[in-house]
Amino acid sequence: MSQTELSERLHLIIIYKQPPLLINPLKYDYLIVGSGLFGATFAHLARKAGKRCLVIDRRPHLGGNVHCLEMEGIHVHQYGAHIFHTSDKRVWDFVNGITPFNRYTNCPVANYEGRLYNLPFNMNTFYQMWGVTTPAEAEAKLREQRAEAVARMAAGGVGEPRNLEEQALALVGRDIYERLVKGYTEKQWGRPCTELPAFIIKRLPVRMVFDNNYFDDAYQGIPVGGYNRLIDGLLKDVETQTGIDFFTPLGPADSRDRAHAHASGAGGSAHGLGHGGAGPTALAALLQQAGHPVGPQQTLWETWPALAHRLVYTGPIDQFFSYRYGRLAYRTVRFETETLDTPNYQGCAVVNYTEARVPYTRIIEHKHFEMFGPQVDACPRTVISREYATEWQPGLEPYYPVNDDANNTLYKKYKALADEYPATLTLPAPGRSCLFGGRLAEYKYYDMAPVVARAMELFEEKGN
């Protein structure tokens, strides 16, 4: 390589940490689309195995939906509350090996018409609901109300629950359903419980003990210092670029522009780097140097084989295949976040609002995820977020897949396309392969720990 070529390459990609990583910018083992938990975990494992990775994200930050903002000294969960919980010791040890987790225990509260009820449904809830004080009294009340629901269905000639309302009534009876399930669920899904399929609520666990711990898992907590610490640790020494949309035209190559790429070093933060439009232009230049000039409308989706041997895709699977069979359905969430001049607004991290007339589903008070005891009052202000569930439309963030029969059938068609890809690429790609993983690429609701486990599993099966 001539001195001129070397200077031009160094001009194209800036490594923000010293000493610079000696990575050939024209050839990666993996191009990983998406820097959420799946993509970041996969990249971490690949990097440890000696693989060269480039992680891109269309957002201006890393971390996907677990990204946190810092406001008033509080780590704000920008995309909704995220509480890590698992009984998988391997996963727990893995994430704690990246950054330590605190002792947060999820004990949400439900607010119905100004009255508060503990969640999940346990002896505290039953005392608040009926005034019962023993498990035997609570069991008797539940049996009575379940029997009434089953009798009503039988009188109407119904043997098995036909919808979510009938299913919930048969599981927990009318009082709990009307006060704590109905309104909240209808706000979440945007339709009456009588129109929702019964399988959405396969079970509603009840506990005959005074225990407000929402999860039964052996381990739970929040990363000390917030989720950005976890993502930064996973992506340490991994090259990343933010503000890069896999499906947006890269534009003409211009070697005068510089990609805001970086490899985060020890103690460094990946967040805030990789802004603006220079990144796509620089990637176009790299593709041109690789012998694949990019047309004005070409995207990384079309040209990635000129950059990497393998693709790991974590975005919406229907978008990857240009919505060939139509769009998959999602639910999305809108947030209203505000700072308040009080050290403690609601006394816990999560309060669900279960009546239909309250438009939001819950209020999150973020400081309670990481501040305990005297720490709460020592921080004089607080930050809350109101969550509003709504129908997904193009341009909004897809949060939850709508896994009804129609959408699951549609997903199977896209999964069949994914199984054949990249053999169907028009760009010659000998030896190239693609892995699809995560909530959007697999059209599957995942908690965080199973996402990490899935990335570990996929890398072990197909990553080497």
- The pTM is what? 0.86
Model confidence at 236: pLDDT above 80: yes
Tell me the residue type at 436.
F
How confident is the model over 403-416, as pLDDT tens digits? Answer: 888 999 999 999 99
Q: Residue 77 and residue 403: Cα distance in Å, rounded?
A: 25
Q: Which residues pair with 264 in a beta bridge?
A: 236
- Give the residue among 146, 145, 142, 200 at the shortest CA–CA distance from 170: 146
DSSP 305: G
Instruction: Supply 346's token pair.
Output: 């609601």
- Contact by Cβ (8 Å): 5, 252: no
In the prediction, which pLDDT does 355 show? 97
How far CA 449 is from CA of 84, 205, 293, 379, 401, in Å, comes to 6, 21, 41, 30, 18
Domains of the chain: 3-67+225-326+401-462 (3.50.50.60), 121-200 (no CATH)
Count CA atoms within 13 Å of residue 364 on its CB side. 23
Residue 298 banded pLDDT, cuts 50, 70, 90? confident
- Give the residue among 392, 368, 396, 401 at the shortest CA–CA distance from 382: 368
Q: Residue 66 and residue 76: Cα distance in Å, rounded?
A: 10
How confident is the model over 89-143, as pLDDT tens digits? Answer: 999 999 999 999 999 999 999 999 999 999 999 999 999 999 999 999 999 999 9
Residue 332 banded pLDDT, cuts 50, 70, 90? very high
In the prediction, which pLDDT does 427 show? 58
In the prediction, which pLDDT does 185 show? 95
How far CA 462 is from CA of 170, 311, 369, 434, 457, in Å, comes to 44, 12, 36, 10, 9
> Strand, coil or helix: what is 109?
strand
Which of 9-13, 52-56, 441-445 has the weakest average pLDDT?
Answer: 9-13
User: Exposed, middle or buried by CB within 10 Å (0-12, 13-18, 19+), for 297?
Assistant: exposed
How far CA 18 is from CA of 264, 265, 384, in Å, comes to 9, 8, 38
Contacts of 287 (CB under 8 A, 6+ apart): 250, 253, 293, 294, 303, 306, 307
In the prediction, which pLDDT does 253 show? 47
- Positions marked active-site: 203, 207, 331, 362, 387, 445, 447
How confident is the model over 240-274, as pLDDT tens digits? Answer: 999 999 999 886 544 333 333 444 433 333 333 33
Q: Which residues pair with 305 in a beta bridge?
A: none
Q: Which residues of 386-415 are buried (b: 16+ CB within 10 A; e: fewer)?
A: bbebeebeeeeebbbbbbeeebeebbeebe
In the prediction, which pLDDT does 249 show? 86
Residue bearing the bigger pLDDT, 369 or 288? 369
Instruction: Supply 90's token pair.
Output: 């391997």
The single residue listed with the structure tokens 């269309």 is: 58
How confident is the model over 169-187, as pLDDT tens digits? Answer: 999 999 999 999 999 999 9
Q: Residue 318 and residue 415: Cα distance in Å, rounded?
A: 9
Instruction: Supply 51's token pair.
Output: 């693989």
Q: Residue 399 and residue 392: Cα distance in Å, rounded?
A: 8
Model confidence at 402: pLDDT above 60: yes
How confident is the model over 128-165, as pLDDT tens digits? Answer: 999 999 999 999 999 999 999 999 999 988 889 999 99
Q: State the pairing for strand pair 53-57/239-242.
A: parallel
